[in-house]
A and B are shown apart, each in its own frame.
Chain A
Amino acid sequence: MSDLNKLTISGARDALAKGETTAVELTEACISAIEGSGALNAFVHNTPEMARDMAAAADARIKAGDAKAMTGIPVGVKDLFCVKGVPSQSASRILEGFVPQYESTVTQNLWDQGAVMLGKLNQDEFGMGSSTENSVYGPTVNPWKLGDGVDRTAGGSSGGSAAAVAADLCLAATATDTGGSIRQPAAFTGTVGLRPTYGRVSRWGVIAYASSLDQAGPITKTVRDAAIMLGAMASVDAKDSTSADRPVPDYESALTGDIRGKKIGIPKEYRIDGLSDEIDGLWSRTAEMLRDAGAEVVDISLPHAKYALPAYYVIAPAEASSNLARYDGVRYGRRAKLGAGDGVVEMYERTRAEGFGPEVQRRVMVGTYVLSAGFYDAYYNRARRVRALIKRDFDQAYAAGIDAILAPTTPSAAFGLGTADKSNPVEMYLNDVFTVTLNLAGLPGISVPVGLDKQGLPLGMQLIGRPWDEGGLLNLAQSLETAAGFASKPARWW
């Protein structure tokens, strides 16, 4: 077989089962694709020796008749997942040289299934960003390039994961989503990105950004692959006190193709000023596709949706300022060089000034401010009360019989690298306008590629599901995927 790196998880699984290929061959195809992909800057720590050993073990397991769904499947891992013995620094200078001595639950689950580790993937520092430009490794470049020659963002924060999957450097990748960091990069690269319900996937060993919002999930080439990989990543984990005590269902068996009678809500508050006619048109067409497949499409209202973005940019920095207090130059990572007579406070302040990039510093300081005496109620508590109202909007929609909500993933297609106004950080925050709402409510969401814009860049639509109904959500997403028939791939230039 040729171009093995272009296979989907399900395609590779079937080929491995039939003996048409081996995990070693699949892995070698991905390793050589990665070696030729320097211009994308998606993989930032490569682990080819580890991959070869794991692939050989997977082949032995397949031969012994002990294969699981992901046995022998080569994957990439977002930098912020701790992998024992492999540099894991969440794209931050402050974790330079940090080599975890333990394994995150998500990656352990994947290795237990027999998946193959190809390396670590680029991201925004600590997950803070929407373009993978806030990375100590430099930006990831979107494999989608037009005749204008402009380097575009692959989105963020999981831009490396999305670019690697779109460019067929790996069959699938792990990612995390705090405010849209799985779904927005998936939309920008023509891939599928699934953020599960909060608590479905363990956060143990995932370098934290905002603990009440962070959730890991897969970026894949198809909806079926997202179902397979979520099943492999999810678990009930005693090491994460917010991990839900719910057995992990077989998500792939939920893909029945039958969505008759399902009720899809279209939230009128998402029709924001400045939404392009193109995305608006695509939204209507995809609603039509779901209707043609037998779903009922109804208008709904989420009255507090417009406050999700400002509430998020209070709550996430507040949690980040607390989580990132651990980077102090004492226990791991970088410590600033000190002068004679410098004390421990100078050590903290200089270490953090040189270790954190500008956006991380900004969010840590905003978080410190909104949690400080005198402002806690005005900002932080108010944001948490608004968050309760945002969640109530969703609760009411689902109580009224809605099965899922359809909305665009992003307000535009991928934008050029370096085009954001550095003096106005809020402009970049607006990228998350359609994605953050469900993070605040803890709901599952999936971005499905549905078409190209006039210029030829991919666009995604998002389905937001009921809590714990990833199976039903994936079934709807697959129906949309089939109807949209998106099959474009970026032309190789790298």
Chain B
Amino acid sequence: MSITEDEARKVAHLARIAVADADLPALAQELNGILHFMEQLNEVDVEGVEPMTGVEPMRLKRREDVVTDGEQQDLVLKNAPDAREGFFAVPKVVE
């Protein structure tokens, strides 16, 4: 498989990273180099092998469904680039 400039543009948009048109050929080439490297995996017979999801065959821990934390609005907002009236503020989303 090989990535075209158009596909590189699409991937950049899916990743929400702005890439200038002039940089797309180099990006496509880099991604192709990495994907080519990954294609060694096609040599392996994986028939009947389950994809590994975790290192330990353990069930995720459960706990009582109770509030253990909270009432920390000031701390939560402390690092926000733009916080107003107790909320995170962003540019207008809906017209």
Contact = CB atoms under 8 A, between A and B. Distances in A.
Nearest to B36: A426
B33 A342 contact: no
Interface string B67-95: 00000100110111110000010111100
A492 interface: no
Interface string A386-422: 1111010000000000000000000000000000000
A245 B63 CA distance: 14
A486 interface: no
Contacts of A93: none
Contact of A369 (B11, B39, B44, B60): B11
Interface stretch (A119-127, A143-151, A287-295, A350-358): A350-358
A343 B92 CA distance: 6
Interface in B27-77: 27, 29-31, 33-35, 37-44, 46, 49-56, 58, 60-61, 63, 72, 75-76
**Number of contact residues on A: which range applies?**
35 or more
A225 interface: no
Instruction: Give the secondary structure class of B's interface.
Output: loop
Interface string A363-404: 011101110100100110111111111010000000000000
B17 A365 contact: yes
**Number of contact residues on B: which range applies?**
35 or more
A307 B44 contact: yes
Given A347-B90, A426-B33, A441 B15 contact: no
B53 to A, nearest CB: 7
B79 A99 contact: yes
Contacts of A332: 79-81
B34 A98 contact: no
B18 interface: yes
Nearest to B40: A310
B60 A344 contact: no
B55 A442 contact: yes
A212 interface: yes
Contacts of A384: 51-53
A238 interface: yes
Contacts of A242: 54, 56, 60
B22 interface: no
Contact of A425 (B15, B30, B42, B90): B30
Contacts of A238: 61, 63
Interface in A317-342: 321, 325, 328-335, 338, 342
Contacts of B56: 198-199, 242, 244, 442, 467
Interface of B: 1, 3, 11-19, 27, 29-31, 33-35, 37-44, 46, 49-56, 58, 60-61, 63, 72, 75-76, 78-82, 88, 90-93
Given A333-B79, A365-B11, A369-B3, 9 more contacts: A99-B79, A198-B56, A212-B53, A244-B58, A313-B34, A335-B82, A347-B90, A368-B14, A426-B33
11 contacts: A212-B53, A212-B55, A241-B61, A330-B81, A330-B88, A334-B81, A343-B91, A352-B18, A369-B35, A387-B51, A424-B33
